[in-house]
Amino acid sequence: MTIRDSIALRYSYNDLTRNKGVNLALIVILVFSAFLMATGSMVIERVLSSMDQFFDEARPPHFLQMHKGAYDRAELERFASEHPEIDAWLIEEMLGYDSAAIAWERSSTGEGGDLADSLIDNLFVTQNAEFDFLLDENGSIPRPDAGEVYVPVAYREQFGIEVGDLLRVQTAEGVQELRVEGFVRDSQMASSLSQSTRFLISEDDFAAMSAAGGAIPEIIVEYRLTDTSLVQDFQTAYESDDALPKNGESVPYQLLRIVNALSDGLVAAALMFASLLLVAIALLNARFVIRGTLEDEVRQIGAMKAIGLPNRTISGLYLAKYRAMTFLACVVGGLLAIAAAQMLTRTVQVDYGAAEVDLVSVLVPVLALAFVYVFVIAICRRVFGKIRRIEVVNALVHGSTLDDRQTARRAAREVKRVRRTSLAAFGGGNLNRRLALLDLRAEARQWVLIPIVMFLAAVLMTLPMNLLSTLSDPAFVTFMGSPESDLRADLEFSEDVDAVHGDLLAAMSADEGLENVRAFANVLYETEGEEGWEVLRVDVGDFSSAAMPFIEGGPPGTGEIALSVMNAEKYGLATGDEILVRLDGEPSNLTVSGVYQDITGGGLSAKMQGEVDAGAASYTVFADTAAGADTAELVAEYADAFPSAKVTPMREFMEQTLSYVTDAVRNAALLTFAFGLGVALVITSLFLKLRLTRDRQKMGMLSAVGFSTNELIAQVRGKTLAAVVVGTVLGSVFAATGGESVAGSLLALAGLGIVDLEFLPNPWLVYLAYPLLLISAGYLGAVFLTSRLRGADKSSWLRG
């Protein structure tokens, strides 16, 4: 160890022990910053690693097409023979049951229930032979024997089903009883954004349940390609072939990964965003402390320069403390992040399994912490660069860090300050308040730290909560391409779907318990793509009163069509452009009336004004409940009357569809809320501790001329409250305006079909309760620090 290193270490130790409160506050903020950055990076790494490992084991399809109804297997074989890029393909047969038709019982305790609370489709399948495997919790490929069933892991979490329980499925001929042998993870349908989930049974049980009736049969046509970069062209080729089954959603591999990673990815993004805000707060405070240190120790710096120590040596002496503090904060933050990442990725481990810890798992958080360390030290080094401009004479004689030119400029500012703070124009009133305001105005450059920190803390607390309330709001259904309503009824393929649609619509329209009944048909049009005609799914109905938000244009009229964001991007169209479509071979030109946001079905949808009573692929009827009517009773009534219709309450439908995302964002919102309040309290206390030390002479003079201790305390608290309020209000306003762009940009990067997010906040919470709590936390720091003034020796203040 060199002499310089020894001196630096000794100085760092002495300064850390001498200014314990200030240094502890800085370390706390740096720990928060390192903790969040490391946690966010670890969550991202764990999600991607777990997903990669799971996808390698489960081998999901690169392209899949769901379908209900008849299909021609020979055409699928013909298509496969024409595309050498297909590595493997299969047709998975499935039996769909309503959740109310599935019950469970634990014979040892008598506990039991049904799955009626689940609003998603329950599909019973057999294990595939080549790819798209359902995996058990050990990552193995289970193959159940007759009478056994493997249940989705999500149902274990939701209903508490255990191994050994009996699962009873109501078929047309009676109850099929199966024993729960284990739980399976599904690479296709793990996310709540998927509207289906799969149960794994034996081939014998599948044949028996199929023969028994009562289920809705459907298939998934699945393809593995030789190269995933060919997926988009392959999807276009599939959809442009009229002979292939298409009555259902098509999902490419990229969307499968995005949907699976979305919820935990949002948490990671929110934590890393919060970390950047905290790094900014830490640097603001470090800059403030460093400047104060240079001013307090300018004579020592002048003496060191006078004896010939280089600027770099002097800077290194002071920088050593910040190196030690930042390194310690990164170590502590990294250790805390290990436990936090485990907690935040619990759902990932349940759905995909825990990936093995390898070199990348260690390098990712280490690099994130290294980024925090290097960034903080680089900024501190830049602030310490001011030592180069300190002149020896000014430092030793005047105790000033300024050169002659800066001294002249400061003198000019002091003259202006005296004029601004003059009491000559004081016309009476509260002199104490007047002095506080004049002092706050004169020293605005120093006090601006508090408003900036409170601004960042308000943004840190408010943005995740605004995103959470938006995702939880019933109006968010409009971002899913649907009008806001109380209930919906879905009619998919069946032999009498048109007749059932007519009867259902007539019954709901005549029901006094329902109002604003709207019916929409999903029609499979075709449009020209890059490689010929391809499927364009169009919802046809009355959109004049659907109250859907459009980011461009408006709802379609006669001869017009509205496109989702992703379809508009896919075909390179905007409002006013024309698009050629055809139905049953009949082409027509339509004008694009507007562009809207949609996150369902891969975000590829369109809407046309009109009425379709027959020939549609599926129908959806929306309705609102009249005053005094009970939505749950109406849902049950129509579900019994029309068993082929899937009738669901919209609020519960939204909650279950977005449950993974909202649960993840809720965790992030709670973390950032706690950190925001903690930052407000710690930073206010740190700032005031330094200000009170430096303002002792000023307070001593005010005390000498007759101001009481309570009046001096009131001045400090008043200035603090004003600074805290200004920063909090500005932060809340920014979160409500510019914050939408920040959150919208993050969602746009996900490629889900949302490019312009409009917050649907809880105003009482984020614009009243949150600001009041933040202001209270900041003011509490002032109360705590200033309460010590009552027992202080006032005479010592005059000595500085």
**pLDDT, tens digit, 9 for 90 and up, residues 253-282:** 877 777 766 666 666 677 777 777 777 777
Pairing mode, if any, of strands 148-152 and 196-201?
Answer: antiparallel
- E-strand ranges in 471-614 read 487-491, 514-529, 532-541, 550-553, 560-564, 578-583, 586-596, 606-609
Burial bucket for residue 197 (CB in 10 Å: 0-12, 13-18, 19+): buried
Task: Kindly tell me if the per-residue pLDDT of 618 is higher than 50.
Answer: yes
In our burial notation (b when 16+ CB lie closer than 10 A, e otherwise), range 497-526 reads: bbebbeebbebbeebebbeebbbbbbbbbb
User: Residue with structure tokens 């954004």?
Assistant: 193
Of 4-13, 127-136, 287-296, 524-533, which gets the smallest average pLDDT? 4-13
Between CA 209 and CA 222 the distance in angstroms is: 23
Model confidence band, residue 461 (pLDDT cutoffs 50, 70, 90): confident
Residue 419 in tokens: 């004029």
Specify the higher pLDDT residue, 531 or 762: 762
Confidence of residue 154 (pLDDT cuts 50, 70, 90): confident
Instruction: Tally Cβ neighbours within 10 Å of residue 435.
Output: 20
**Residues counted in the chain:** 800
Give the tens place of pLDDT for each residue, 398-440: 555 555 555 555 555 555 555 555 554 545 456 666 676 766 6
Residue owning tokens 């990669």: 52
Segment 630-644, tens digit of pLDDT: 888 888 888 888 887
3-state helix, strand, coil in the chain (%, to 5): 55, 20, 25
pLDDT at 512: 86
Tokens of 191: 């996310």
Per DSSP, what are the bridge partners of residue 16?
Answer: none
Token pair of 431, please? 């002199």
- Give how far Cα 734 sits from Cα of 461, 644, 716, Å: 12, 49, 27
Query: What is the distance of C-alpha 652 from the center of its chain?
Result: 21
pLDDT at 687 over 70: yes
Q: Are 565 and 548 in contact (CB under 8 A)?
A: no
Eight-state DSSP code of residue 466: H
Name the least confident of 61-75, 650-664, 671-685.
650-664
Nearest to 237 by CA among 80, 90, 92, 87: 80
Number of other CB atoms surrounding residue 800 within 10 Å: 9
**Does residue 361 come out as left (phi exceeding 0), alpha (psi in the -120 to 50 range) or beta?**
alpha
- Supply 333's token pair: 């933050």
* Strand ordering across the sheet containing 121-125: 111-114, 102-106, 166-171, 174-184, 148-152, 196-201, 121-125, 86-97, 216-225, 63-67, 250-252
Lowest model confidence (mean pLDDT) among 179-188, 397-406, 522-531, 630-639: 397-406
* Inter-axis angle of helices 404-420 and 431-442, nearest 10: 150
Residues near 307 by Cβ (< 8 Å), separated by ≥ 6? none
Contacts of 99 (CB under 8 A, 6+ apart): 114, 115, 116, 117, 118, 119, 120, 122
Q: Which two tokens stand for residue 49?
A: 């690693």
Beta strand pairing call for 514-529 and 618-625: antiparallel
> Can you say how many angstroms the Cα of residue 200 is from the centroid of all Cα atoms in its chain?
32
CB 514 within 8 A of CB 630: no
Whether residue 132 is predicted with pLDDT greater than 50 in this model: the reply is yes
Mean per-residue pLDDT of the chain: 79
pLDDT reading at 444 higher than 70: no
CB 155 within 8 Å of CB 186: no
With a cut of 70, say whether residue 34 has pLDDT above it. yes
Among 43-47, 409-413, 575-579, the minimum mean pLDDT is found in 409-413
* DSSP result, 672-732: HHHHHHHHHHHHHHHHHHHHHHHTHHHHHHHHHTT--HHHHHHHHHHHHHHHHHHHHHHHH
Question: Which pLDDT does position 414 carry in this prediction?
Answer: 52
Residue 679 predicted with pLDDT over 90: no
**pLDDT (mean) for 614-640:** 85
CA dist., res. 680 & res. 771, Å (int): 11
What 3-state DSSP class applies to 383?
A: helix
Question: Which has the closest alpha carbon to 600: 192, 64, 92?
Answer: 192
Q: What is the mean pLDDT of residues 107-120?
A: 80
Among all chains, which residue has been given the structure tokens 């049953």?
584
Structure confidence at residue 426 (pLDDT) = 47
Nearest of 44, 45, 47 to residue 55 by alpha carbon: 47
Residue 5 scores a pLDDT above 70:
no
pLDDT at 408: 52
Rg (CA), the chain: 33
* Cα–Cα dist 423/409, whole Å: 24
**Residue 200, pLDDT score:** 93
Q: Where are the domains of the chain?
A: 1-65+250-389, 86-225, 439-474+655-800, 495-643
Q: Which two tokens stand for residue 627?
A: 């005053």
Q: Please count the other Cβ atoms lying within 10 Å of the Cβ belonging to residue 568.
A: 23
CB-side exposure of 541: number of CA atoms within 13 Å? 20
Q: Looking at residues 354-366, what average pLDDT do you find?
A: 83
Q: How far apart are CA 38 and CA 33, in angstroms?
A: 9
pLDDT at 647: 85
**pLDDT score for 343:** 77
What are phi and psi for residue 190, nearest 5 degrees?
Answer: -75, -35
